Amino acid sequence: MNRRTVRYVTVVTDLILINLAFAFSYVVRYEFQWLLETASFDPYESYVGQQILLTLLLAGAFAQNKAWTRRRGEAWIDEMSRISYATAAGIALMMAFTFFFRPLAFSRLLLVWALIFIILFIGLARLLRRWLLQLLYRRGRFVDRALVVGSGEAGRGVIRTLLARPDLGFQPIGYLDDGSQENNIGSGRVPHLGSFNEIDCVLQANQQLHTVFIALPGEMHEQIMTLLQQCQKRGVRAQVVPDLLQLSLNRVEFNNMAGIPMLSGRNVSLSQTSLLLKRALDLVIVVLGGIPALVVMGLIALAIKLDSPGPVIYSGMRVGPNGKLFRMYKFRSMVEGADSQKELLAHLNEADGPIFKMKDDPRLTRVGRFIRRTSLDELPQLYNVLLGNMSLVGPRPPLLEEVEDYKPWHRQRLAVIGGITGLWQVSGRSDLTFDELCLLDIYYIENWSLMLDIRILLQTIPHSLFGRGAY
């Protein structure tokens, strides 16, 4: 399902809905007689000519205002803004026609209803299209293969967006960089394919490549132009990411000082208003779910006590924002003294980066294996949420020894308080590499919203129930 197919289906669907909306407007105006009653009216056949003319006018208005151009990642409300503007322009032209030419049968109220129902019908159709495409993309169907050419923070920004937003419909096949370790942008699922000077060979080897994202520093102007020419020669679509201080747009502020445009960078963090809203959401959910959670926690505590000797609750120090340490609580899922055995198992570590993960960790108890797989071991962290040193959603709080091994860009994930669940937990969980984990955490911080938190919480439920990627 390529862009042309989606566009063709969208155009045909919109034209059908425009005519259905016009017919429904006639029924509302004359059969239901909403807003204004009338004793006599002309039959529907008298309006067929106006219906055809309105369809043609709206087709032109939609094309002119790019209402049929699908922009990946665009919010539904922004798309509807263009559709509403185009529809209003077409209806205005239609009203002007009826005013000057005075057809035998005409009703301006009918056109008002047509304006409302056309926007309503097409808006619902666009929502359905979004849902279907996102469903297909998340299952890896009909996605476009993409290559990232970049370095440093700009390149990482592109990769983390592609990883965090599978609904955009891009499958990154790999990345090219400048070859320096300092600007490495790689991650496990996005392999390193060489330096950007090798792009011609990569394009030749990947005939089905759809898009190349170029995210290089502005001073590499000549290299960027060369890359664009090579993409054009191979018939591959290329998009250049602006080098705005090597930052994403969410970390750039535009100001006007007495008519002088000002561009400034800001730290990766949430505003005070965002923090208050996030805190309010945490408290509401914890209070509402507190009693059911206590019942489940009581049963888990009993099972742990009967299964193996040792305390029910395990606590350990974790690193919060600005390096502040706090004590995090969870149900004990391992045998007593498991921490002292960690060094003996270090050579069996299955995770990359400064974290330790084992699918078949011998230190796990029988109950511990189950509560780990379902994430029930993290329920005591609701107490951390009440204390305010954790949130329901956010980056997982790391150990101090892990932070000591962080690269400079990894530390951006410590800009907000940690969470029980997060974006990476619903995007692969333990199957992700550490770099991918950090990329998703930073994307979450830069793009935070209440709806994002709610979506992650809802997605966490099936991931926990089925234990996807958890161990």
From first to last of its 471 residues, the chain has per-residue pLDDT tens of: 566 788 899 999 999 999 999 999 999 988 877 766 665 667 888 888 889 999 999 999 999 888 888 888 788 888 999 999 999 999 998 888 777 666 656 777 888 999 999 999 999 999 999 999 888 888 878 888 899 888 777 777 788 888 888 888 888 888 888 766 555 555 567 888 888 888 888 888 887 888 898 888 767 777 888 888 888 888 888 888 776 544 554 555 555 544 555 445 555 567 788 889 999 999 999 999 888 999 999 999 999 999 999 999 999 999 998 889 999 999 999 998 887 787 778 777 766 677 777 777 889 999 999 998 888 999 999 999 999 999 999 999 999 988 988 888 888 888 889 999 988 888 755 567 788 888 888 888 888 888 889 989 988 887 776 655 555
For residue 258, the model assigns a pLDDT of: 47
Residue 314: the pLDDT is: 93
| 3-state SS track over the chain | CCHHHHHHHHHHHHHHHHHHHHHHHHHHHHHHCCCCCCCCCCCHHHHHHHHHHHHHHHHHHHHHCCCCCCCCCCCHHHHHHHHHHHHHHHHHHHHHHHHHHCCCCCCHHHHHHHHHHHHHHHHHHHHHHHHHHHHHHHCCCCCEEEEEEECHHHHHHHHHHHHHCHHHCEEEEEEEECCCCCCCCCECCECEEEEHHHHHHHHHHCCCEEEEEEECCCCCHHHHHHHHHHHHHHCCEEEECCCCCCCCHHHEEEEEECCEEEEEECCCCCCHHHHHHHHHHHHHHHHHCHHHHHHHHHHHHHHHHHHCCCCCEEEEEEECHHHCEEEEEEECCECCCHHHHCHHHHHHCCCCCCCCCCCCCCCECHHHHHHHHCCHHHCCHHHHHHHCCCEEECCCCCCHHHHHCCCHHHHHHHCCCCEEECCHHHCCHHHCCHHHHHHHHHHHHHCCCHHHHHHHHHHHHHHHHHCCCCC
Write down the pLDDT at residue 312. 94
Task: Please give the single-letter amino acid code of residue 298.
Answer: G
* Single pTM value for the model: 0.66
Q: What is the pLDDT of residue 257?
A: 47
* Structural domains of the chain ordered from first start: 3-138 (no CATH), 144-249 (3.40.50.720), 272-466 (no CATH)
Give me the pLDDT at residue 281, please: 93
pLDDT of res. 384: 95
Predicted local confidence at residue 267, as pLDDT: 55
